[in-house]
Structure 1
Amino acid sequence: MNKRFNTTGVCIPHLHYMVDITDKLVKIEAMVNRGDYFVINRPRQYGKTTTMYMLEQKLKDDYLVLSISFEGLGDLIFEEEKIFSKKILKVFADSIQLDYEEYCAKLYEMAEEISDLNGVSKAITKFSKLINKDMVLFIDEVDKSSNNQLFMSFLGMLRNKFLLRQQGKDKTFHSVILAGVYDIKNLKLKIRQDDEKKYNSPWNIAVNFNVDMSFNCDEISTMLKKYCEDKNVLINIKEISEKIHFYTSGYPFLVSRICQIIDESQLVWNEDNINKAVKELLQENNTLFDDLVKNIENNNEFKEYLFDLIINGTERTFNIHNPLINLGTVFGYLKNLDGRVKISNRIFEQMLYNYFSSKLENKTDMSTYNFKENFIIENGLDFEKILLRFQQFIKEQYSNIDSKFIEREGRLLFLAFIKPIINGVGFDFKEVQISEEKRLDIVITYLSHKYVVELKILRGIEYHKKGLKQLKDYLDNQGLDKGYLLVYNFNKDKEYIKERVNFEGKEIFVVYV
């Protein structure tokens, strides 16, 4: 059977090209062997289910693994304690029926005699004594049930059994692993409606899960190596792995999706085609991007926070106790980089740029200024003309607008302005450089040409010289001799001018708006 890259559901080694996650599994297995209870809490499509599957295969010789999920069971199971108590043992039984038919039958037999969670607790103890292996319990998609009182009570029962086991007073699961987006160990459990101390944590016995589940360059290389061996193709694995990591920061779904696009489109594995794959990825509908848009549309404060972070380059100190930072981290959109808040990967950055610029396009008519055919030359773009036309657009349409609006929206206006010009042929990549100038570097590829334009706010002569030096270094990095500088000047007596600067061997075309 031919292997393929997979981005839906669990990855299976003999069916799919997979990153070698042995090092991660070894660390998680050590936690299981210690008897830890923990939560694998990572963002959506981050490889949680695949990791659980691979871990089960690794553990099943030494442990009896019960791997369950409440997804797809419906709401009936949570209607009353009696129904839940009987059903949960049957769910346990179903998870082992293929390998342990006798144990499966025993759990079904026990289920008929149970009417409450206390009965479930006793059944777990009885079953633990019956089998000749330690038991490990996996519960996937735990978020689906974490708002349900019965499920929280069930976790509280497992917690109590764990504490009793430590005292030598009970026998229960050796280890319990929950998987979901949220770390539910801090959720609250209502003990009794008439109890003054109504809340207690059902999962405060869980240890922290600190295993890095993102893929580094070397791990991405393991998947590409298997692909090359199977397809009998020769690619620069190190270079391709680094470029994929550059865009994804190792986010598992994004890594696999880029590879999947290149493979299924039968593209040559090179940098240009990785750019094409990223562009295609950003234009498609998928649940990861749908969730991103939904999560920011439903939270205006979070939306404004992201806007200031990536469009305006506002510098933020990372503090996980800040609700907005914590929310962004849980969803996988934000990360801690040297104590500062950063968007977690460049594809999410691009996605957010596209989202914000499209929202602005809906409110601003630029069609008489940015008509695509006006800027196309043989095999490329007349980029100087693009900048001068944008200057005219700002002068004619926004000269009387409050400067605070332009300072906030100005760079986004340029992103929206250039999008229709390069759409369908070009690719633009943006990156905020957080410094005194809060620069926004944009690299645009159009056919075989590459254009680097830096957007910045004028903050004095010394900062301007520093900006030229930074642009020069960026041009060196891109292997280019010419660059473009778009300067936003908010002085009252500003002039809409242009100039051509030769700086340390680089030609830089500067436009002021």
Structure 2
Amino acid sequence: MRYFNTAGPCVPTRHYMVPAQERLPRARRYIEQGQYFVVHAPRQTGKTTVLAAMALELTASGRYAALHFSCESAEVAGEDYGQAELLVLEAIRRSAESAGLPDELVPPAFWPDAVPGSRLTRGLTEWVRSCPRPLVLFFDEIDALRGGESLRSVLRQLRDGFTVSRGGFPHAVVLCGLRDVRDYKAASGGDPGRLGTSSPFNIKVASLRLGDFTEAEVAELYGQHTTQTGQDVTVDALERAFGFTQGQPWLVNALAREVVEELGVVSDTPITAGHMEEAKERLILARATHLDSLAARLGEDRVRRVIQPVIAGELLLPTDTYDDDLAYVRDLGLVAPDAPVRVANPIYQEVIVRVLGNDTEGQVVAAPSSFRLPDGRIDMGTSCCAPPPSSGGRTARSWPPPRPTRRRQHSW
């Protein structure tokens, strides 16, 4: 029995999932052309699921030897680029073993000796020499290489292999992470100068952003549950789910899982918009790991500089760091990838407002209706907090304080 997954990569035999080919339609064409390219997206949007599924499909086709692996274990190497190379090669070997590649496609039993700075090139060249099929490699979590020297070494060796030894090097390479390759300088430690002035990976043919689910893909995913269990999902429920999540994959799965498993809506009862409403409230109150990790980012200055004006309904004034700040917050998935600048979806917006207003909320003593205008907007001239204590023998100020003659009215 398959189910809605909210923890780790999806497995087709265990989880409902949108086919990888549908989420990155251009990737297969680039691979067949022998291109090197980048895939990036916020966390928990399905990058690992899509890349791992694509690697399996390519190998199963009989045309390629494809392998997906993570560079995350090399993060500990820091600036020790020689150690980082060894850890990446070790990650390749472990992944090849767990992927169950046929004997003739596996990497060499021992990587060739080489000086630091050339180990990856030598190792991949040796593998290509022994492999009877074109080699396709998916470098997941590439931006986990935090040391500028380590990241630069890996990228430059891939570039050199592509330009100098094209016939004896991997047929196609995909780099995947949170950020586009142009932002790897910041990802490696925040100093834009650490990787030099020129791009160490200027051979990429494209940067593909793995998008959120479309409304049709949400319907397809939920339809898999209907097919398996017979439980209908009403049109209103589908619209409400997409409206709340804007297709963010983790949220789409989490809402459905909350309804089916936590609320326990039995299979002979249709899933309705009311169920989605209740599931949304429960997710926000529970502050699941995904939501909590995003909320934790709100303490970062570069996140606050973007999010606070958006929540307050104010214009974002350009600064020296504005473009970098906005790109960073978009990479995190907190704001939508397109204009205008806005929080990515209503669930994130409610979580963000609750987190930012948590300290103030504890001091509010008035009923919400007392500072709400008839049309639903907040009356910014009404105070809702407890009055200050009197000081010594002085007369305490009247509370609430007099309203200004002109007041701002915000629409929330």
TM-score (norm 2): 0.80
SS where residue 343 of structure 1 aligns? coil
Please say if residues 7 and 256 of structure 1, whose CA atoms lie closer than 8 Å, have aligned partners that are also in contact: yes
SS where residue 223 of structure 1 aligns? helix
Q: Report the equivalent of 1:252.
A: 249
User: 1:355-366 counterparts in 2 under 5 A?
Assistant: 355-362=355-362, 364-366=363-365
One of 204, 207, 213 as aligned partner of 1:206: 204
Q: Report the equivalent of 1:439.
A: 411
- Which runs of 5 or more residues in structure 1 are unaligned? 191-196, 373-382, 408-436, 441-513
Tell me by how many angstroms 1:334 deviates.
Answer: 1.6
Q: Report the equivalent of 1:3.
A: 2
Letter in 2 for 1:274: M
Q: Report the equivalent of 2:44.
A: 45
Tell me by how many angstroms 1:51 deviates.
Answer: 0.8
Deviation string, structure 1 residues 273-317 (Cα, Å, up to 9, x no partner): 101111111112333323322222121x63254222123x22459
Aligned partners of 1:89, 1:270: CA distance in 2, in Å?
Answer: 50
Please say if residues 20 and 223 of structure 1, whose CA atoms lie closer than 8 Å, have aligned partners that are also in contact: no
Aligned partners of 1:151, 1:304: CA distance in 2, in Å?
Answer: 28
SS where residue 107 of structure 1 aligns? coil
Letter in 1 for 2:200: P
Alpha-carbon spacing, 1:353–1:186, altered in 2? closer, same or farther (3 Å): closer
Aligned partners of 2:317, 2:53: CA distance in 1, in Å?
Answer: 37
Tell me by how many angstroms 1:358 deviates.
Answer: 1.6
Letter in 2 for 1:40: V
More deviation in 63-72 or 202-211?
Answer: 202-211
Please say if residues 86 and 114 of structure 1, whose CA atoms lie closer than 8 Å, have aligned partners that are also in contact: no
Q: Report the equivalent of 1:149.
A: 149
Alpha-carbon spacing, 1:174–1:248, altered in 2? closer, same or farther (3 Å): same
Please say if residues 137 and 175 of structure 1, whose CA atoms lie closer than 8 Å, have aligned partners that are also in contact: yes
Tell me by how many angstroms 1:69 deviates.
Answer: 1.1
Alpha-carbon spacing, 1:146–1:77, altered in 2? closer, same or farther (3 Å): closer
Are residues 1:331 and 2:332 paired? Answer: yes
Alpha-carbon spacing, 1:126–1:252, altered in 2? closer, same or farther (3 Å): same
Q: Report the equivalent of 1:297.
A: 299
Tell me by how many angstroms 1:66 deviates.
Answer: 2.4
Greater fraction strand: 1
Letter in 2 for 1:356: L
Aligned partners of 1:214, 1:341: CA distance in 2, in Å?
Answer: 17
User: 1:74-113 counterparts in 2 under 5 A?
Assistant: 75=76, 79=80, 81=82, 83-97=83-97, 98-104=100-106, 107-111=108-112, 113=113
Alpha-carbon spacing, 1:131–1:273, altered in 2? closer, same or farther (3 Å): same
Are residues 1:283 and 2:289 paired? Answer: no
CA RMSD of aligned residues (A): 3.6
Are residues 1:180 and 2:177 paired? Answer: yes
- Which runs of 5 or more residues in structure 2 are unaligned? 189-194, 388-397
Please say if residues 78 and 147 of structure 2, whose CA atoms lie closer than 8 Å, have aligned partners that are also in contact: no
Q: Percent identity?
A: 20
SS where residue 277 of structure 2 aligns? helix
Please say if residues 59 and 65 of structure 1, whose CA atoms lie closer than 8 Å, have aligned partners that are also in contact: yes
Q: Report the equivalent of 1:215.
A: 213
SS where residue 202 of structure 2 aligns? coil
Deviation string, structure 1 residues 435-468 (Cα, Å, up to 9, x no partner): xx7522xxxxxxxxxxxxxxxxxxxxxxxxxxxx
Q: In terms of Rg, which structure is larger?
A: 1
Q: Report the equivalent of 1:224.
A: 222
Are residues 1:263 and 2:260 paired? Answer: yes
Please say if residues 185 and 202 of structure 1, whose CA atoms lie closer than 8 Å, have aligned partners that are also in contact: no
Q: Report the equivalent of 1:68.
A: 69
Alpha-carbon spacing, 1:18–1:287, altered in 2? closer, same or farther (3 Å): same
Aligned partners of 2:330, 2:196: CA distance in 1, in Å?
Answer: 29
Alpha-carbon spacing, 1:322–1:403, altered in 2? closer, same or farther (3 Å): farther
Alpha-carbon spacing, 1:39–1:198, altered in 2? closer, same or farther (3 Å): closer
